[in-house]
Amino acid sequence: MPATGTSPDRVPRHVAVIMDGNGRWASKRGLPRTLGHRSGAQAVKALVTACGERGIAHLTLFAFSSENWRRPEEEVGTLMALLLEALEDEVAVLHRNRVRLRFIGDRAGLSAALGARIDAAEALTVGNGGLQLNVALDYGGRWDLVQAARALAVEVAAGTRSVGTIDEAALAAGLALAGQPAPDLLIRTGGERRVSNFLLWDLAYTELYFTDLLWPDFDAAAFGAALTWYAGRERRFGAVAEAS
């Protein structure tokens, strides 16, 4: 159910999150960056629970971008190990809570073990009708647009589609989030004010909420503050404001 005092039509259907600040959170405490990522994983669990409690239907998390491969090898290895660990430990819990788990991004560079776990998690939860949880892994917004455009080009080359039928709907149908509503609210933690190649098409009319909190510190109260801010926004989608 929506939070007390919040009108149901003021609760976003779809929330996207750029989870920034794990490394800085650890560094401020004199800890290895890897421990920051472990603390960040706990914040993810809390957010998934909060979304379910507040009646949010879709949650998309930017877990690992296509650019994150440039990070130190040890850190990348830790991130992948944490994801594999989470899939082993948490998928059964998500399934019991009727969460449907989907992964979006380029899977070609993932290990065979991780790819197999991802496939199994998606297959197990495919019929669930609760929160739709999208995890963006080795994902980039430009990659997303390119792979959708390539698919259309293949259809044109094969003679199954004419160039004149390519419109916004046709392109959107080939994107990673096809079939889901665009995010209503994007939250970025960590103090940066940019979208960092995340869901470039889908964020066209999304409300953007930035906070200086580092991701491991983003708790239920911080999420509530973001939702309160969203509830006060006037979403016009290019139209003019209604006369008072």
At 79 the pLDDT is 83
User: What is the Cα–Cα distance from 133 to 59, expressed in whole angstroms?
Assistant: 5
Q: Residues with catalytic annotation?
A: 20, 68
Strand order across the 207-210 sheet:
100-104, 132-139, 58-65, 14-18, 185-188, 207-210
Check residues 244 and 52 and name the one with the higher pLDDT.
Answer: 52
Where do the domains of the chain lie, and which CATH numbers do they carry? 13-148+183-230 (3.40.1180.10)
Return the pLDDT at 239: 62
Higher pLDDT pick, 237 / 223: 223
Residue in 92, 96, 93, 10 with CA at minimum distance from that of residue 54: 10
Give the pLDDT score at 240. Answer: 58
* pLDDT, position 81: 85
pLDDT band at 238 (very low <50, low <70, confident <90, very high): low
Per-residue pLDDT for 5 more than 60?
no
Q: Which helix (H) or strand (E) holds 100?
A: strand 100-104
**Distance between CA atoms of 54 and 4, rounded to whole angstroms?**
9
End-to-end CA distance of the chain: 30
What pLDDT is attached to residue 3? Answer: 45
Tell me the chain's radius of gyration from C-alpha atoms: 19
3-state secondary structure of 178: coil
Percent of the chain residues topping a pLDDT of 90? 76
Flag whether pLDDT at 244 surpasses 50: no
pLDDT-based confidence at residue 234 (cuts at 50, 70, 90): confident
Tokens 């926004």 correspond to what residue?
233
Judged against a pLDDT cut of 90, whether residue 190 lies above it is answered with yes
Of 125, 127, 114, 109, the closest CA to residue 86 belongs to 114
Chain mean pLDDT for the chain: 92
Residue 149 belongs to what H/E stretch?
A: helix 141-158
Instruction: Report yes or no on whether pTM surpasses 0.85.
Output: yes
Taking only the tens place, the pLDDT of each residue in 80-99 is 888 888 888 899 999 999 99
